[in-house]
Chains A and B, each alone.
Chain A
Amino acid sequence: MVELILCGRGGQGIVFLTKLIGEIATSKGLRVITSETHGMAVRGGSINSHVRIGPFYSPLVRPGQAGFLVSLESAETPNNAHYLTPDGILVENSPLPAEPRVFRCDAAGLARDLGRTQLENVVLLAFATMVGGFPISVEELRSRLAGDPREQVRTMNLRAMDAGVKAAKSSAAC
């Protein structure tokens, strides 16, 4: 049983990550229910997704219940930090150094180096899978991304994934 929140700004590909996590959990035979933001807010406004793995019916995480907060935009973290449990873990898209229970990765910078800023979501998710206790493993993520039939998308996603994994390995915190 684990609950997480993904947050950022509309257009950063949060729904894509939500689907990835949900599909991987589904293929493992786990019960999963999620909720996401659509409509006006996705035009650059604040958005988040809720993911609940376990015997849940409601798709919404209550404040103080999330084990992980994956934040694609550090400016959005304060909007969502209240969802974390007292010992919950924040994984943030940011060049700043790590802190206790805060893991940071400059996913935007790494994605820019790959030539596509939009890949920051995959970089950060791959980084998050390396953090202890995260509900999906890097192997599961890899096999999911490798299954994409569109060759270019597959190649770029796998490269983004490798960048995130590498960043996690070189950061002493993980």
Chain B
Amino acid sequence: MNKPTGADVRFLMGNEAIGRGIIESGCTLAAAYPGTPSSEVLESLVRWKRELNHPIYLEWSINEKVAFEIAYGASLSGARSVAIMKMVGLNVASDPFLSAAYLGVRGGLVVVVADDPGPHSSQTEQDSRFFGWFAKVPVLDPGTPAEAREMVMQAFELSEKYEVPVLLRPCLRVCHARQNVAITTPRAPADVGPFKKDWTRWAAIPRFRLVLHRQLNEKLAKMREEEPAARPVLICGDSRGATAVVTSGSVSSHVRDVVTANGALAGVDVYKVDLPFPAHAEALQQIADRYDRTLVVEETYPVLELQLRDRRKVLGRLSGTVPEQGELVPELVEDIILNVVGADRPARDAPTIKARRPSLCPGCPHRPAFYAIRKVFDRAIYSGDIGCYTLGINMGAVDTCLCMGSSVGMAGGLARGGSSERDTRVVATIGDSTFYHAGVPALINAVHTRTPMVLVIMDNNITAMTGGQPTPASDQLADGSPAVPIDMERLVRGTGVESLEVVDPYDHESMRGALEKARRHSFDEAGGVSVVIARRPCVRMRNVTMPSTRFQVDENCDLCMSCIRDLECPAFRYEKAEKKIEIDADICAGCGFCVQVCPSQAIKATGA
């Protein structure tokens, strides 16, 4: 544990600490696709690169599969490299990830995959440690930001020693925790020598894959046997208690703190495993055999628990002692352990209100785009996608949201699965970054198969949800060096789309006109795909300045509630007591869209 003294201690977010660990390890290349809770790793690398004048190559890749392949390529040419993503990104990258485990690596290859128990900002609660097991890739599981930084270096060493990719799995409570972290001077970029041709390894056909699979199994067996990180380490207690807790990762920090703080848990021994796969199963079993009871507390799947062969005295997810879903927050961890040792749980107060739901920002260009979609296609199925614009659900303009790019793919089935005309009109919405990520192949498919659908690409020129990372349309790479901007119109035209309109969603008339034209094309005339690009920068981008005009509701308002229900701008409030609609001038962004849509023309600029 680092001591927060001296000049080299910084207050760092877990993701920044991971970025620091990457730089300090002599890494040559980092490729990432943004996704909460992982995005700040590459963002921090941009800052470390600048601060240290470091030569590391950084990129926001088009998607996680490409990011992984780029990192893998760098490893084969001898460099240390890293790919960074959130856990659902690993699903996208799974094809090269599983194959790379067999082929192995040359320069150290670390894959940082951030998990989101809860889930707070994700589609699933999948456990990347389990994914590592499935892929036969070793997994390090940090408990704090400071430990995450150290584990990055450990991961590179393990990767080079065993010639395998190594997965670092920080959970949200490590990624978005901040802590004082001791840092050191980066080592020089590592290099294991230039790429050596050997097709039986790097382009192995199935016959050689069998050999490689055996080698991989041998590597894992050796690692399990020889690496201290694979064994449980006592972090609380004197190993003489009756109850043991076995834990790993960020939840181990909750366990450590509640056992330390709660006198009723004084006799509990806590063991932490840094490398939950491949864990030293015999050492775990010895704990289970020796104690009266052993509780396994881990997020989110029973990875350590399943590596125990005799579970008769083991409590965990498989025994129903630990809930099978949801985040293990400290108070829940405390209750579970108290229950296991037979102590009383403390009475706890809970929040007395429901959490406020998120909304599109005031002035967000997606709002008028969704508004127009609702007006022009009043009965369609709205196939949505992943990004800020998923919040179109608040406006009744998003009906489905499956995964990155699925709005376009699902539209092909939604359009063909229904029986009446009413069920088969599909309007898909997708953001620019998500479109590049996984929408393009789906669009080619839709054009080729003459899918009758309207696709609205909500192009705000940025990956907004995750904090504003550049897309392939940017003329700059992550660190500001020059890039070739990809032209979205040419890309869409290149897929064979015949009906394409580009509009500013703030221009309500043109937006409506473009959607009506698309409707005629796709549903009344030619059929097939039509695309509308609704283009306007995200209001959160640095270079966007919003008007200072503010608005108020006058006596023409008949309380139709359209502004609150259909427009859903967070600046609007219904004052129950006064039976009045108010616009909060502190929240309003001055976009003026509400003026255009109020049916009673009751919204005027203040002072006008």
- The interface of chain A, by Cβ under 8 A from chain B, is 9-11, 18-19, 22-23, 25-26, 29-46, 56-60, 62-64, 75-76, 78-82, 108, 112, 117
Q: CB within 8 Å of A: which of B106-154?
A: 120-121, 143-145
Neighbouring B residues of A64 by C-beta, 8 Å: 346, 348-349
CB pair A34 B178 closer than 8 Å: yes
Tell whether, in the assembled complex, residue B361 and residue A63 are in contact, meaning their CB atoms are under 8 Å apart: no
Q: 4 closest Cβ contacts across the A-B interface? A: A39-B121, A45-B358, A59-B177, A82-B349
Question: Which chain B positions have C-beta within 8 A of A26?
Answer: 4, 9-11, 180
Measured between alpha carbons, how far is A18 from B176 in the docked complex, in Å? 12
Across-interface contacts of A76 in B (CB, < 8 A):
356
Contact partner of B121 (CB less than 8 A), chosen from A10, A25, A38, A108, is A38
**Minimum CB–CB distance for B296 against chain A, Å:** 18
Binding-face segment, B47-55, B326-334, B518-526: B326-334
Within 8 A of A (CB), among B143-174: 143-145, 173
16 residue pairs from A and B, CB less than 8 Å apart: A26-B180, A32-B179, A33-B144, A38-B37, A39-B36, A43-B391, A44-B361, A59-B253, A60-B173, A63-B331, A63-B348, A75-B356, A78-B352, A81-B352, A82-B351, A108-B586
CB within 8 Å of A: which of B467-511? 467
* Contact (Cβ within 8 A) A57 B178: no
In the complex, the chain B residue whose C-beta lies closest to that of A36 is B176
- Measured between beta carbons, the chain B residues less than 8 angstroms from A59 are 144, 173, 177-179, 253
Given A63-B331, A63-B348, do A44 and B176 touch, yes or no (CB 8 Å)?
no
Which residue from chain A places its CB closest to the CB of B252 in the assembled complex?
A57
Type the 1/0 row for B334-374, where 1 means its CB is closer than 8 Å to any CB of A: 10000000000010111111011111110000000000000
For B386-412 the 0/1 string (1 means CB < 8 A from A) is: 001011000000000000000000000
Knowing that A22-B180, A34-B179, A60-B330 touch, tell me 4 more A-B residue pairs with CB under 8 angstroms. Answer: A11-B361, A18-B178, A40-B390, A59-B173
Categorize the interface residue count of chain B: 35 or more
B173 and A35: CB pair below 8 A? yes
- Flag B183-217 by CB within 8 Å of A: 1 or 0 each: 00000000000000000000000000000000000
Q: Which of B25-33, B254-262, B282-290 contacts A (4 or more CB under 8 A)?
A: B254-262
| A43 touching B388, Cβ below 8 Å | yes
Query: In the docked arrangement, what's the CA distance between A154 and B585, Å?
Result: 25
Question: What string of 1s and 0s marks CB contacts (under 8 Å) between B310-338 and chain A?
Answer: 00000000000000000001110010000
Please report the C-alpha to C-alpha distance between residue A108 and residue B257 in the assembled complex, in whole angstroms: 37
A168 to B373, CA, bound (A): 50
What residues of A have a CB within 8 angstroms of the CB of B258 in the complex?
58, 62
Q: Are A43 and B359 touching (Cβ within 8 A)?
A: yes
Q: Quick check: is B527 within 8 A (CB to CB) of the other chain? A: no
B570 on the A face (CB < 8 A): yes
Q: Note all chain B residues with C-beta closer than 8 A to A46.
A: 355-356
Does B330 lie within 8 Å of A62, measured CB to CB?
yes
**Bound-complex Cα distance A22 to B178 (A):** 8
Q: Chain B contacts of A82 at CB under 8 A?
A: 348-352
User: What's the nearest-Cβ distance from chain A to residue B395, in Å?
Assistant: 13
Cβ of A45 and Cβ of B357 under 8 Å apart?
yes
**Chain B nearest Cβ from A11, distance in angstroms:** 8
Shortest C-beta distance, B293 to chain A (Å), equals 23
Chain A positions within 8 Å of B352 at CB level: 78-79, 81-82
